[in-house]
Structure formats: structure tokens, C-alpha cells
């Protein structure tokens, strides 16, 4: 019935509106029901209802219908926001999400009747249940009384004023190829069963399309509470004549007038402001009204573009070489100068092109951040904590691949902060802190990186406790613990199998957390650090690359080949005389600034012939707490490289994380620095130890 594309558009809108409701319900809970917030939720629910009805998703339609009814009462001040209401709303939201999964095939068999019942009882509980809100919302226009209607004989006609929300539904329906008609229906004066007639007309019209509004409201109509006629707004793909014939097929219909609804264009804010009280608020809040300025593109296409640009870059580098050759061979000839100019311009354009395509792959970090307030709220509820969760920099853009990876570690850190960081309200009051803990999540660009910080004003971490814990867990011997510095102790929280929580809760998991957090972040060439002050709070700082496709790397040679070390794992580079190498058992080490650094030879790891020339070049790699020096033939320098995978056929090759193409067209391999450190590195603490021992 609907194409995949239409469903995709619908789902995207659904997602967006669910998010909007989510955000606003959070606001509702925190700040009470301001008219804007209530209106936003009402509109979002209404939009979902409209499009779901068109698409034929009944469960979503009826669920959002209930939400809408509820907010209509709130809007009119007939009901107050209560804690129970907010909880029920969250339940309804969860149900909505499940229903959405049902559409995408990720779930099924969702039963919404319980939630709908709860929503209804909320409405009933407020004592303002009657009269019920119209299914299509709107501000309950007074039902036209009989004596206001045109005198008998003439056709029933009504001047319909469309609310914002209805207009929106109409507009969307038009985009989907539906036409909206205003249908004025006159009923015989002598009609005895007005309710039944109205019901039949509704039934009939609903076979042809969807009724999104009626005046008077549907409930009144079905009770027979109307004058000589009524008006409905119908979305349909049938033409006006067919609609007319359909209605006339019902007995006791005296007149039918079908008029297509002409919407006011979006460029009339003045008229709009005069028309509705809420219009002012919405003038800048409805981007959907503007002409379409975006298109949806498959990520695969962007990846292909990226590859093509990569080819261009390489060809351009080659062209550069020819330019040099020409210059040296023919001097400052006119033609040569032309080529130089072309080559330079080409370089600029390809550079810009690369950057633009990169940007096109970026998404605002809001994609992850927007899901978090709800999670924090639920957690806080569960743990009996009060939390002010502030998010800054939602608009900061990240490569979509980075966004996918960052969500898990962030959730973990947040959970920790709520569970272990922020104290219960009573304790906070006792400590002279505000009742509600403050949690600030912030994203920003710093140089060529994205920095995400998460700070809380909770307990902070006590190095002494960690020290104690590390000994208990057998991570350190008492002697080691006594000797370790504060920073070293704190960084133990990243050690596998460490958890500072005195009790294992179902919130923060089972102490497998922080090492995995660090791992996930480092996998995308990011880093995570933290500072903490006991009693004052903790701040985690996550640094991420803007994109996964391009990294800065240290290029080295070994034998005939060039290898790249991702710069995020390179601590420093050193050179030694062969005589400086010492042997500890079977391992080679050097002493650097009083510390013993274990060495591995890349030639040995990769079974390649080395061409050492006297001095040894060493790349010092670090990951987590571990360090290792890798001996290579020669250091070339830093360079930005485009990461390419080795392809599915080769799969994971030990010691390598990918490949890149050099300026001369050759392929250079990227060293999996993290794996090398993991396998051959030695922990900092241990380095200290060996120095002491």
C-alpha cells in the first residue's frame, strides 16, 4: 500500500515526534505545565495520530489520541500536571516506542490497552472528563446551535476555521498525495436518529479516507447533539464528486458540499498571528512549513563519494610530482606555469571537496544526547535521587560512526554518576549542598577534536578507598599500593575487574564497567580521562576524533615498507645507540628518564628484514596504563591518513588495524598499536616497581 520510502518518512517523523514528546514531558515534570510545553506535546501527539491514521497504524493512532485528549484538557486548564500523570505519560511513550519497533519488525504483539486505560483514568480522575475532547483536537468550538444555522431549505454550510494542528496534518497528508476536503453535510430537519445518521456518515467516509476533524466534535455528533448539519474534514485520495456520492448514499442527507481545503501559505505570519493565540510561539518552531531543503542519502553513497575523493587526492599528488619534473626539466616555461597553476587549484578543490563530504557524514551529537535525559530521570527515580541534568552543545557534529560507538560508554558514565556520584537528597542537604545533584553533559569542538565532558557535583572519588579496594581485589600488593601516587591510584578504576561501589547494584552493572568504557573509546581513537575531588564531584573528559575515516599518524619505515602508527597511541619517539639496550631475562629494555621501558622490534613482530642504520628509532606507544617501545628502522614524520580496511577477505590480521594509500600510490599498513601495547606492554606501576627493585 505504501512504499518503503513513505514508511521511512513516516518512521522518521514518528521518531522525531516521540523525541519531542519525551523532551517536553521531562520539562513538564521538572518545570510544571507551561502552556508552551503542553502545546508542544499536544501538537506532537496530534501529528503522530494524523499520520499514523493515514498509514493505518491503529494502535499508535488510538494511543496518541488518548495522549492528545489528555493534553487538550491540560491546555484548557481543566486538569493539573501530577506525578502520576507524568509516570503514565512515560509509560505511554515507552509503548509508543515499542509500537514503532513493531512497525520496523524489531518487536511485535504490543498491547496498548492497559496504557490507554491508564491514560483514560488520568482523564477521568481529574473530574473534568466531560464533555470529551474532539478526536481531532482543536479548541472545542461551540457546537453551532440550530437557530444560528441557515434557514431551512438551503444547504448546510459552515465557515471552518482550521487550527494549527489540523492544518499541519492536512499539509502532511497533501505531501503524501492525499487531498483534504471540507465536507458540509445537511441532515433532514425531521430526522429522528441524528446520532445514527452521523455515525453512518462517519463510517462511510472513513472507508474513503480519514476524518481528522469535525464540527461539532464526533462524540456530540454520535449523540445526535447537532443542528441541521455538520462539517467534517476528510483526507482522501478520492475526488470531490465521489465523496459527495458516498455521503448522498446515506438516507436523510439533505445536502452535501465538498470543498477542497486551501491552506494559507506559510509566509503569512501576520495573518496567522491574528488568527490564533498560539501562533506567535509557532512562527519559528515549524521548519516543516518551509520548502524542502534536505534530502536523505544512503550512507553507502557518502562512503563511495569519500572513496572517489580519495582517488582524486592520490592523482593530484601524482600530478604534483609531474609538475616538479616539468619544472626541473623545462624551467619557468609558460606551459609549465599553467600546469603548476592547474595543479594547485585542483589541490584546493579536492581538499575542499574532501572536507565537505566529511561534513556531510556528520550528525549532531543530539542523536545520542537526546536519549539520555529520560534515562537519567528514570534512574534518579529508582534510586530516590534528585538530579538537574543539563546538556550543552547538542548541535556539535560528529562522524556518524563515532556517534554509534559513543553512546554505550556515555550511558555507562552517566549511570555511574547517578548511582555512585550523586548523593541522596538528605545527605546532600546535610553536607550543605543543594538537594538536587547537578549533572552537566557538554560537547564542544576543541582544535580538531570533539571533547565531551560529564561532570557531577557528587561525592567524588577517594584515592584512599580506591587504594584499599585495589589491595582487596589483588590488583596491587600492599607495598605497591603504599608506593603508588595518587594519579596512578585513581587510574586504577580503569583496571579490569575494579568497582568502587560498595554494593553491586543492577544500575551500574557488576564492576566490569570502566575498563570497557575506556576500551570502547580507545577503539575509535579517542581517549578518556577524569579529575575528581572528594566531596566536590568528578569530571570525565572524553576526547574523540571528528571522524574515523582520517587520522593523524606517525609514519615509519621498516625494510622496504612504510607503516603508520595512529598518533593517539604514540606517546613520544626516541632514538638510542644499540649499546644502550639492556637485557632483562629475555626481553630488551632501555632506561628512559629513570624508568625501564620494554622494547619490541617491529621487524620481529612482522617477520620482516630490518635495515637499521646505527641508531635505533623507537616509537613509544601507550594505551591504558601500559607502555612499550617499538623499534623501527626510521621515523618519517606525521601525516594525515585515510583509513581503509583490509577487506573482509583478509579479516582481522593480527598486529594491523587497516591500510592507507600514500602519495605515491603505494599501500602502507596501519599498525594496531593498541593490540601491541596490550600484548607486550608493561604497566606503569610495574615500571615504577622495577625501578625501585
Catalytic residue numbers, as ranges:
46, 68, 416
Give the residue, chosen from 607, 609, 614, 637, that forms a contact with another protein under the rule CB under 8 A: 607
User: Are 363 and 397 contacting, i.e. CB atoms less than 8 angstroms apart?
Assistant: yes
* CA dist., res. 515 & res. 216, Å (int): 62
Give the total residue count for the chain: 693
3-state secondary structure of 168: helix
3-state secondary structure of 347: helix
Q: What is the crossing angle of helices 372-383 and 400-416, to 10°?
A: 10
Nearer to another protein, 574 or 605 (CB): 605
* For residue 216, cis peptide bond before it (omega within 30 degrees of 0): yes
Nearer to another protein, 424 or 655 (CB): 655
Nearer to another protein, 490 or 600 (CB): 600
Q: How far is the CB of 560 from another protein (least distance, A)?
A: 9
User: Are 414 and 397 contacting, i.e. CB atoms less than 8 angstroms apart?
Assistant: no
Q: What is the DSSP letter of 138?
A: S
| Contact letters for another protein, residues 314-353 (x by CB under 8 A) | x---------------------------------------
Q: How far is the CB of 39 from another protein (least distance, A)?
A: 50
- Span from 96-104, 281-289, 419-427, 603-611 in contact with another protein (CB under 8 A): 603-611
Q: What is the crossing angle of helices 83-104 and 4-31, to 10°?
A: 170
Q: How far is the CB of 325 from another protein (least distance, A)?
A: 19
Q: How far is the CB of 613 from another protein (least distance, A)?
A: 21
Q: How far is the CB of 605 from another protein (least distance, A)?
A: 7
The verdict on 668 binding another protein (CB under 8 A) reads yes
- Span from 305-313, 391-399, 610-618, 631-639 in contact with another protein (CB under 8 A): 305-313
User: Are 630 and 621 contacting, i.e. CB atoms less than 8 angstroms apart?
Assistant: yes
- Span from 15-23, 95-103, 489-497, 667-675 in contact with another protein (CB under 8 A): 667-675
Q: How far is the CB of 525 from another protein (least distance, A)?
A: 19
The verdict on 669 binding another protein (CB under 8 A) reads yes
User: Are 671 and 661 contacting, i.e. CB atoms less than 8 angstroms apart?
Assistant: no
How many C-beta neighbours within 10 Å does residue 98 have? 18
Q: How far is the CB of 408 from another protein (least distance, A)?
A: 27
- Residue 226 burial by Cβ neighbours in a 10 Å radius (0-12, 13-18, 19+): buried
Nearer to another protein, 342 or 650 (CB): 650
Smallest CA-to-CA distance from 569 within 656, 671, 489 is with 671
The verdict on 594 binding another protein (CB under 8 A) reads no
Nearer to another protein, 287 or 654 (CB): 654
Smallest CA-to-CA distance from 457 within 386, 356, 382 is with 386
* CA dist., res. 434 & res. 392, Å (int): 21
Task: Give whole-number Cα distances, 642 to 458, 528, 544, 669, in Å.
Answer: 42, 23, 16, 11
Nearer to another protein, 240 or 605 (CB): 605
Nearer to another protein, 87 or 401 (CB): 401
Q: How far is the CB of 564 from another protein (least distance, A)?
A: 12
The verdict on 659 binding another protein (CB under 8 A) reads yes
Nearer to another protein, 410 or 562 (CB): 562
**Residue ranges in 634-653 that form contacts with another protein under rule CB under 8 A:** 644-651, 653
Q: How far is the CB of 655 from another protein (least distance, A)?
A: 5
Nearer to another protein, 306 or 514 (CB): 306
Nearer to another protein, 370 or 401 (CB): 401
The full 3-state SS of 491-555, as one line of letters, equals: HHHHCCCCCCCCCCCCCCCCCCHHHHHHHHHHHCCCEEEEEEECCCEEEEEEEEECCCCEEEEEE
- Span from 37-45, 249-257, 262-270, 658-666 in contact with another protein (CB under 8 A): 658-666
* CA dist., res. 360 & res. 368, Å (int): 18
Q: How far is the CB of 106 from another protein (least distance, A)?
A: 25
**Residue ranges in 67-86 that form contacts with another protein under rule CB under 8 A:** none
**Residue ranges in 557-586 that form contacts with another protein under rule CB under 8 A:** 561
For β-strands 437-446 and 387-392, DSSP reports them as parallel
The verdict on 474 binding another protein (CB under 8 A) reads no
The verdict on 279 binding another protein (CB under 8 A) reads no
Give the residue, chosen from 87, 206, 286, 307, that forms a contact with another protein under the rule CB under 8 A: 307
- Span from 108-116, 201-209, 476-484, 666-674 in contact with another protein (CB under 8 A): 666-674
End-to-end CA distance of the chain: 77
The verdict on 608 binding another protein (CB under 8 A) reads yes
Nearer to another protein, 150 or 655 (CB): 655
Give the residue, chosen from 311, 392, 395, 486, that forms a contact with another protein under the rule CB under 8 A: 311
Q: How far is the CB of 313 from another protein (least distance, A)?
A: 8
- Span from 8-16, 248-256, 630-638, 655-663 in contact with another protein (CB under 8 A): 655-663
H or E element that contains 13: helix 4-31
* CA dist., res. 318 & res. 311, Å (int): 11
H or E element that contains 576: strand 570-576
Q: How far is the CB of 631 from another protein (least distance, A)?
A: 15
Cα angle value 18/20/23 (rounded, 5°): 110
Sheet holding 527-533, edge to edge: 387-392, 437-446, 449-456, 537-545, 527-533
Between the CA atoms of 413, 415, 416 and 419, what dihedral angle is there, to the nearest 10 degrees? 160
The verdict on 391 binding another protein (CB under 8 A) reads no
- Span from 81-89, 195-203, 303-311, 685-693 in contact with another protein (CB under 8 A): 303-311
The verdict on 630 binding another protein (CB under 8 A) reads no
Give the residue, chosen from 239, 523, 667, 690, that forms a contact with another protein under the rule CB under 8 A: 667
Question: Binding-site residue total for another protein (CB under 8 A)?
Answer: 30
Nearer to another protein, 280 or 666 (CB): 666
80-96 as b/e, with b when 16 or more CB fall inside 10 Å?
ebeeebbebbbebbbbb
User: Are 661 and 667 contacting, i.e. CB atoms less than 8 angstroms apart?
Assistant: yes
- Span from 148-156, 164-172, 310-318, 358-366 in contact with another protein (CB under 8 A): 310-318
* CA dist., res. 513 & res. 50, Å (int): 43
The distance from CA 72 to its chain's CA centroid, rounded to whole angstroms, is 30
Smallest CA-to-CA distance from 90 within 377, 437, 411, 384 is with 377
- Span from 168-176, 203-211, 307-315, 532-540 in contact with another protein (CB under 8 A): 307-315
Q: How far is the CB of 607 from another protein (least distance, A)?
A: 6
Q: What is the DSSP letter of 644?
A: B
The verdict on 606 binding another protein (CB under 8 A) reads yes
Nearer to another protein, 203 or 311 (CB): 311
The verdict on 304 binding another protein (CB under 8 A) reads no
The verdict on 675 binding another protein (CB under 8 A) reads no
Q: Spell out the long-range contacts of 471-475 with Cβ–Cβ below 8 A and sequence spacing 24 or more.
A: 473/497, 473/498
Interface with another protein (CB under 8 A): 307-308, 310-311, 314, 561, 605-608, 644-651, 653-656, 659-661, 665-669
Amino acid at each position: 500500500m505504501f512504499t518503503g520510502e513513505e514508511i521511512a518518512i513516516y518512521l522518521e517523523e514518528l521518531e522525531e515526534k516521540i523525541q519531542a514528546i519525551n523532551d517536553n514531558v521531562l520539562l513538564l515534570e521538572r518545570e510544571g505545565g507551561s502552556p508552551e510545553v503542553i502545546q508542544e506535546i499536544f501538537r506532537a501527539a496530534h501529528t503522530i495520530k494524523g499520520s499514523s491514521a493515514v498509514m493505518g497504524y491503529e494502535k499508535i493512532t488510538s494511543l496518541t489520541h488518548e495522549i492528545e485528549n489528555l493534553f487538550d484538557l491540560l491546555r484548557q486548564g481543566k486538569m493539573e500536571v501530577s506525578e502520576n500523570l507524568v509516570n503514565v505519560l512515560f509509560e505511554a511513550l515507552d509503548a509508543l516506542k515499542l509500537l514503532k519497533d513493531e512497525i520496523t519488525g524489531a518487536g511485535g504483539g504490543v498491547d496498548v490497552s492497559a496504557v490507554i486505560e491508564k491514560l483514560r483514568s488520568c482523564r477521568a480522575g481529574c473530574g473534568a472528563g466531560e464533555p470529551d475532547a474532539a478526536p481531532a483536537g482543536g479548541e472545542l468550538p461551540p457546537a453551532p446551535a440550530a437557530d444560528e444555522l441557515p434557514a431551512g431549505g438551503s444547504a448546510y454550510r459552515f465557515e471552518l476555521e482550521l487550527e494549527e494542528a489540523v492544518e499541519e496534518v492536512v499539509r502532511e497528508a497533501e505531501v503524501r498525495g492525499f487531498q483534504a476536503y471540507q465536507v458540509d453535510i445537511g441532515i433532514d430537519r425531521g430526522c429522528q436518529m441524528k446520532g445514527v445518521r452521523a455515525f453512518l456518515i462517519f463510517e462511510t467516509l472513513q472507508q474513503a479516507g480519514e476524518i481528522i476533524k469535525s464540527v461539532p466534535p464526533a462524540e456530540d455528533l454520535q449523540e445526535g447533539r447537532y443542528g441541521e448539519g455538520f462539517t467534517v474534514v476528510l483526507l482522501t485520495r478520492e475526488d470531490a464528486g465521489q465523496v459527495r456520492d458516498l455521503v448522498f448514499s446515506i438516507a436523510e442527507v439533505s445536502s452535501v458540499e465538498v470543498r477542497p481545503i486551501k491552506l494559507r501559505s506559510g509566509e503569512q505570519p501576520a495573518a496567522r498571528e491574528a488568527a490564533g493565540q498560539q501562533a506567535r510561539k509557532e512562527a519559528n518552531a515549524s521548519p516543516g512549513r518551509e520548502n524542502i531543503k534536505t534530502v536523505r542519502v544512503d550512507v553507502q553513497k557518502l562512503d563511495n563519494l569519500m572513496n572517489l575523493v580519495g582517488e582524486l587526492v592520490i592523482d593530484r599528488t601524482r600530478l604534483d610530482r609531474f609538475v616538479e619534473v616539468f619544472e626541473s626539466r623545462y624551467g619557468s616555461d609558460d606551459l609549465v606555469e599553467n600546469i603548476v597553476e592547474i595543479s594547485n587549484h585542483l589541490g584546493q578543490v579536492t581538499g575542499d571537496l574532501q572536507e565537505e563530504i566529511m561534513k556531510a557524514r556528520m550528525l549532531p551529537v543530539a542523536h545520542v544526547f537526546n536519549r539520555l535525559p529520560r534515562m537519567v530521570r528514570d534512574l534518579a527515580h529508582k534510586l530516590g535521587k534528585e538530579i538537574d541534568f543539563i546538556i550543552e552543545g547538542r548541535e556539535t557534529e560528529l562522524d556518524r560512526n563515532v556517534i554509534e560507538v559513543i553512546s554505550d560508554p556515555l550511558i555507562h558514565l552517566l549511570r555511574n554518576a547517578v548511582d555512585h556520584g550523586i548523593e541522596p537528597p538528605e545527605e546532600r542537604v546535610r553536607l550543605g549542598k543543594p538537594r538536587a545533584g547537578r549533572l552537566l553533559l557538554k560537547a564542544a569542538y576543541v582544535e580538531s577534536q570533539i571533547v565531551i565532558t560529564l561532570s557531577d557535583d557528587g561525592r567524588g572519588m577517594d584515592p584512599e578507598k580506591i587504594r584499599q579496594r585495589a589491595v582487596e581485589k589483588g590488583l596491587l600488593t600492599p607495598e605497591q599500593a603504599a608506593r603508588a601516587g595518587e594519579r596512578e591510584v585513581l587510574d586504577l578504576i580503569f583496571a579490569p575487574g575494579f568497582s568502587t561501589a560498595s554494593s553491586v547494584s543492577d544500575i551500574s552493572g557488576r564492576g566490569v564497567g570502566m575498563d570497557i568504557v575506556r576500551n570502547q573509546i580507545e577503539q575509535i581513537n579517542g581517549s578518556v580521562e577524569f579529575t575528581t575531588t572528594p566531596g566536590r564531584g568528578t569530571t570525565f573528559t572524553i576526547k574523540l576524533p571528528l571522524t574515523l575515516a582520517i587520522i593523524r599518524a606517525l609514519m615509519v619505515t621498516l625494510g622496504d615498507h612504510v607503516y603508520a602508527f595512529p598518533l593517539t597511541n604514540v606517546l613520544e619517539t626516541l632514538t638510542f645507540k644499540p649499546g644502550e639496550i639492556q637485557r632483562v631475562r629475555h626481553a630488551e629494555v632501555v632506561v628512559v628518564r629513570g624508568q625501564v621501558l620494554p622494547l619490541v622490534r617491529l621487524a620481529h613482530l612482522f617477520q620482516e628484514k630490518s635495515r637499521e642504520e646505527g641508531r635505533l628509532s623507537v616509537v613509544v606507544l601507550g594505551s591504558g596504563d601500559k607502555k612499550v617501545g617499538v623499534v623501527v628502522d626510521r621515523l618519517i614524520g606525521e601525516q594525515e591518513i585515510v583509513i581503509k580496511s583490509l577487506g573482509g577477505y583478509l579479516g582481522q590480521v593480527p598486529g594491523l588495524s587497516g591500510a592507507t594509500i600514500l602519495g605515491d600510490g603505494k599501500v602502507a599498513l596501519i599498525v594496531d598499536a593498541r593490540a601491541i601495547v596490550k600484548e607486550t606492554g608493561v604497566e606503569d606501576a610495574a615500571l615504577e616497581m622495577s625501578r625501585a627493585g
